[in-house]
Chain A
């Protein structure tokens, strides 16, 4: 019997959903609102040397990679399933578009984080 690959996608979906629920809201506030406005953490929060040092640290690198990877796969799986509800039945094209985008985001993040070095 062929083994189902569903548990892998389900695990990525579940892990991403959990991480998004726990970290997402505050993370969006910090990177998307607080840092650009320079309040309340000051204007230099995300300056180049600081973020570079964060991304070179293995904890920072791992955190960034886990967030990007799991968010991308969570969203891809959920959008794929929801497409059915708006009348698009999840065939190979929908699957490729959803999981392919997640894979592309993963590859870009992995390659960039590796090239930043340790």
Chain B
């Protein structure tokens, strides 16, 4: 007989893949994964700034890399991730910020979320307009 048969070994449920068990957990994981998109984009920009400092040839190399199909595809994924980040960031904001009162009434969570989304929209339109003005 097995020597360990008498030892009590309680069943411990594995946590492997826990976030695939529920759509709510999957949404949570998707939103946390946007951090990788933010990290990758920070690296892309940091490399760009580094190549810019190294001179025109280095900078043109970075531009050529950006034109490759792989880079375009990567940036499409980044674009979707940043949109998910912007959407969820303002959804969480009412829960992370201190309570806000206007005229003695607590500001509704949905008001805060919607204000954030509108701010993103306004900033995006402004950036587009500025870039349009900046182009030749």
Contact = CB atoms under 8 A, between A and B. Distances in A.
Interface of A: 16-18, 20-37, 40-42, 44-46, 48, 51-52, 55, 64, 67-68, 71-72, 74-76, 78-79, 82, 85, 87, 101, 105, 108-109, 111-113, 115-116
A32 B90 CA distance: 24
Interface of B: 15, 19, 29, 32, 35-36, 38-39, 41-50, 52-53, 56, 59-60, 63, 66-67, 71-72, 74-76, 78-79, 82-83, 85-86, 89-90, 116, 119-120, 123-124, 127-128, 131-132, 134-136
B122 to A, nearest CB: 9
Q: Is the interface of B mostly helix, strand, loop or mixed?
A: helix
Contact of A108 (B50, B56, B124): B50
Contacts of A20: 38, 82, 85-86, 89
B136 A37 contact: no
Nearest to A117: B53
Contacts of A112: 46, 49-50, 52-53
Q: Is the interface of A mostly helix, strand, loop or mixed?
A: helix
A106 B64 CA distance: 24
Contacts, number: 159
Contacts of A113: 49, 53
Contacts of A109: 45-46, 49-50
A32 B123 contact: no
28 contacts: A20-B89, A21-B85, A21-B90, A21-B116, A22-B119, A25-B79, A30-B127, A34-B131, A36-B72, A37-B72, A40-B132, A41-B132, A41-B135, A44-B136, A45-B134, A46-B63, A48-B56, A52-B52, A68-B46, A71-B38, A71-B39, A71-B41, A72-B46, A75-B35, A85-B29, A105-B46, A112-B46, A115-B53
Contacts of B56: 48
